[in-house]
Structure 1
Amino acid sequence: MAPSWLCDKSASPRCYRLGLWGLVTVGLLGLCYLLYHGDRLWPSVVPKLRTPPSPWAAPRLPPPRALPTPAPCVANASVRDVSGFDKLPGHVQDFMRYQHCRSFPALLSVPGKCGGPEGSPGIFLLLAIKSAPVNYERREAIRKTWGQERAFEGAFIRRLFLVGVAPSARDAKKLNRLLRLEQREHGDVLQWDFRDTFFNLTLKQVLFHAWLEERCPGVRFVFNGDDDIFVNTDNVVRFAMTTQGAREQHLMVGQLFVNHRPVRLQRSKYFVPTQLLASERYPPYCGGGGMLMSGFTARVISRESRNVELFPIDDVYLGMCLEKAGLLPASHAGIRTVGVGVPANADPFDPCYYRELLLVHRFVPYEMAVMWQAIHEPRLLCGKRVSIF
């Protein structure tokens, strides 16, 4: 029977039929609405019924927190009053104007490379390679050879390239796009917004050590070097394993330079005027081509660098930081930053030499590929093995 609000008792049968059809129509419309909008009414239920989540799916993380962008650093105009400033080369003048600048925004970063404070103790060796934006071929060769991210004899190896921005604005636009592509594929680029020049290599080191202290404080060992070297990473790991006790102790080994004097010749790449350093002696330091340090020493450098004025020669600057901490670098016979040093009648590209060494400076990309394959050739026959540990 139709409800009383549709037909009264004296109404005709036609009225009752109309009432019933009205109820049916309203019911069908309501059902269609529910079917069409069901996923909007119950969004937390419907997807679970359709596709159960995989137990291996990555958790949904909150969006990254935007970090404040450092204010542009202003040139120090007072350096014009320094005696002899006007006679110095332009690049030295620029360094002195901006010597106080240490804070630059990161353009590319990899905050999860080491797993942060919790995960970084599981990283045995971090390869921190100084590279210029234009050196794409070198980075690719390193990725495929000695810089592979892998586990070797139970030791986890990770890789980072440290770069700034190309000095030419025209080149910088193209090369920044290239670096973004590399980052998307490999996730191994740390780039800051400063001009990537020889005199700014120290700035690159300071920014890296600050990043390391925040993002990778527990790493056991850091190998720091240029992108034109050949590294027998297997030997680096084996040597570091023999010094396991150095994990929480000071260790820096490389090609040691003691009692070296600043270069006062203006036309030299390494020219340092007395306005930047009055002393006629550098502190002991390891050649910047490549050196191995413990995580402890890397943290010491980060701490001491806050109170050591920037100096244009990066490897000397690291020696200054160690000196301030009362520490000394050490020599390692297997690290050759000025050539392999073979006898005059010997082949300097003989893989038997490189099988015994940790590092040799000055390699082009194709040489890296050839030598990496050669020292891992199972049929490589060499004479008496020389211990480098």
Structure 2
Amino acid sequence: MAPCLCRCRCKLLLCICSPCILLTCLFIYVVLAVCFSMAPSISPIGASRPLPLYFAATGASKAGFLASYPLNDFWKNYLDNRAMWNWLQHIMDRLHNPILHSNTAGRNNVLSLGDLFPVLGKLKCKQDHSMTKFMSDFQAMPRQIQDFVSSMHCRDYPLLIDQPRVCARRPDLREAAPMLLLAIKTQVHDFQNRQAIRKTWGRSGYVKGLVGKGGIVRRVFLLGNREQDEHLYIDGLLEMESQRYGDIIQWDFQDTFFNLTLKDVLFWQWFSMRCPHARFVFKGDDDVFVRTPALLDFLQSEEVKAKVSNSSGSAVKLEDFIIGDVIISAVPVRKNSTKYYIPQTFYEGLYPPYAGGGGVVYSGSLALRLLQVSKRVHLFPIDDVYLGMCLHRLGVSPIHHPAFLTFDFPKKEKKGPCANHTILLVHKRSPAEMYDLWNEMKSPSLECRNATLRVQGTGKEKSTQVTAERLPHADSIL
């Protein structure tokens, strides 16, 4: 009986202890497995195992057991100052870099050229040659380059003629703010162009779309001042024109080709005060033709797309919307006999993507942002390129659309009978041609009534290198 009782006790003890022993072994195994997995693995030669390629950026250190780190600086402390504009803008970009200057991130502090160079900040809007020392060949430059460099510090010019009520709400119209503001660059003596625009595609008021409801359109012409040797009676004629049509905006600066950039900057400032609620802005030249009803339909379709893409269904401001004939990887013209000439001592490198200046459309909210960013982008002689520089610093990419023909119809393209009904804009057209096109648009043939917008061009717009055909007067661009 005693031996049997002893065997039973042994079996009972074994049954009770075995699970405890197994659980203890399992616990020890788990602890050791976790510890080994967390410990750094050592290769046979005692060095750290190299990181996978997708963890190590190009130019990173891979030596020893330390984490990879960049071998070179992210931003250059110094820039070769052979090109004056690049050097000045390099300083400005560094001052507004939110990583290098995190204590100013999120603020609206915008430093201007006068902040960087106090001497220039005290100058009035007249020529000063203190900056010309940065261009070794300044004296050999064409007169237009010399004049621009000597006055590029100034962008505060007084208004001579203003239109404070052009975007004001009117009792007879249903909308409080314009859907589209036409801002057209012109010169004092180009009255025929302005008159043709007023009577054709640039009519102010309610404009019906081809298929949509349309919207309110407003019009302003942007002018500088005349040459000093012109007759004074022109001032009186321009004042009479302003009183008659209420669409003239004039600033007191010399209206030259290289000062077209001033019209952009000063217009953005005027827009922020006089017409900030306009939904879209068309900025173009006075020798283009625009199918305004078709453009309104197109813009309304873009607004619908933006609303659909917004999950809440509320209105979207299209803050990054800008569309036109986009040119990419354009090179500066180095032939000093052309008006587009930019010397290498002034600017080096390719131009950022930009829309051809014959005509471009952007949202009103983007116009307000362009005003702010322009305060930290130094003026550039070519207005189209300057807009691209501002967009680049906003992180905005312009949208290319083949219906914007800022260089006219391609020469090699066969023009069909309804070709004019497939565009949104075409450049260049005389006043007589504007009237003819307008009459054609008002009474389209049966064949052309259902014509759709161009959806593809000849393929040049997709090129990564601009050619002489894409750059006006660039028969010798290098």
**Interval containing the TM-score (normalised by the shorter chain):** 0.7 to 0.9
2:178 maps to 1:135: no
- Structure 1 runs not aligned, ≥5 long: 1-69
Question: 1:78: which partner in 2?
Answer: 130
Counterpart among 406, 425, 435 of residue 369 in structure 1: 435
Q: CA deviation at 1:214?
A: 1.3
2:360 maps to 1:291: yes
Question: 1:354: which partner in 2?
Answer: 420
- Per-residue deviation, residues 148-168 of structure 1 (Å, max 9, x unmatched): 012122410000000011224
Question: 2:159: which partner in 1?
Answer: 106
**SS of residue in 1 equivalent to 2:357:** coil
Question: 1:330: which partner in 2?
Answer: 399
Q: CA deviation at 1:346?
A: 3.9
Counterpart among 208, 220, 225 of residue 160 in structure 1: 220
Question: 2:248: which partner in 1?
Answer: 189
Q: Distance in 2 between matches of 1:162 and 1:302?
A: 16
TM-score by length of structure 2 reads 0.62
Question: 2:300: which partner in 1?
Answer: 241
Q: Which amino acid aligns with 2:302?
A: T
2:278 maps to 1:226: no
- Per-residue deviation, residues 155-182 of structure 1 (Å, max 9, x unmatched): 10000000011224324x2322221111
Q: Which amino acid aligns with 1:385?
A: A
- Per-residue deviation, residues 196-235 of structure 1 (Å, max 9, x unmatched): 0100000111000110011111110001100000100011
- Per-residue deviation, residues 212-261 of structure 1 (Å, max 9, x unmatched): 01111111000110000010001110110011136342111110100001
Aligned residues: 313
Counterpart among 239, 256, 266 of residue 326 in structure 2: 256
Q: Distance in 1 between matches of 2:364 and 2:132?
A: 40
Q: Which amino acid aligns with 2:158?
A: P
Question: 1:147: which partner in 2?
Answer: 202
2:267 maps to 1:212: no
Q: Distance in 1 between matches of 2:132 and 2:365?
A: 40
**SS of residue in 2 equivalent to 1:242:** helix
The CA RMSD over aligned residues, in Å, is 2.2
CA contact (8 A) 1:254 1:335 kept: yes
Counterpart among 211, 216, 230 of residue 170 in structure 1: 230
Question: 2:117: which partner in 1?
Answer: none
Q: Which amino acid aligns with 2:299?
A: A
Question: 2:238: which partner in 1?
Answer: 179
- Per-residue deviation, residues 32-70 of structure 1 (Å, max 9, x unmatched): xxxxxxxxxxxxxxxxxxxxxxxxxxxxxxxxxxxxxx9
Q: Distance in 2 between matches of 1:325 and 1:206?
A: 15
- Per-residue deviation, residues 70-127 of structure 1 (Å, max 9, x unmatched): 99413222134231111111110110000011011111110111128xx996210000
Q: Distance in 2 between matches of 1:303 and 1:163?
A: 22
Q: Which amino acid aligns with 1:75?
A: Q
Q: CA deviation at 1:187?
A: 0.1
Question: 2:43: which partner in 1?
Answer: none
Q: CA deviation at 1:376?
A: 1.2
CA contact (8 A) 2:373 2:390 kept: yes
Q: Which amino acid aligns with 2:233?
A: K
Q: Distance in 2 between matches of 1:80 and 1:105?
A: 26
CA contact (8 A) 2:160 2:250 kept: yes
Q: Distance in 2 between matches of 1:212 and 1:160?
A: 11
Against the structure 1 CA distance between its residues 148 and 369, is the aligned structure 2 distance closer, same or farther, given a 3 Å change threshold?
same
Against the structure 1 CA distance between its residues 121 and 302, is the aligned structure 2 distance closer, same or farther, given a 3 Å change threshold?
farther
Q: Distance in 2 between matches of 1:334 and 1:327?
A: 21
Against the structure 1 CA distance between its residues 383 and 208, is the aligned structure 2 distance closer, same or farther, given a 3 Å change threshold?
closer
Q: Distance in 2 between matches of 1:277 and 1:181?
A: 42
Question: 1:52: which partner in 2?
Answer: none
Q: Distance in 2 between matches of 1:109 and 1:282?
A: 33
Q: How does 1:194-205 map to 2 (within 5 A)?
A: 194-205=253-264
Q: CA deviation at 1:337?
A: 0.3
CA contact (8 A) 2:352 2:388 kept: yes
Against the structure 1 CA distance between its residues 79 and 71, is the aligned structure 2 distance closer, same or farther, given a 3 Å change threshold?
closer
Against the structure 1 CA distance between its residues 77 and 385, is the aligned structure 2 distance closer, same or farther, given a 3 Å change threshold?
closer
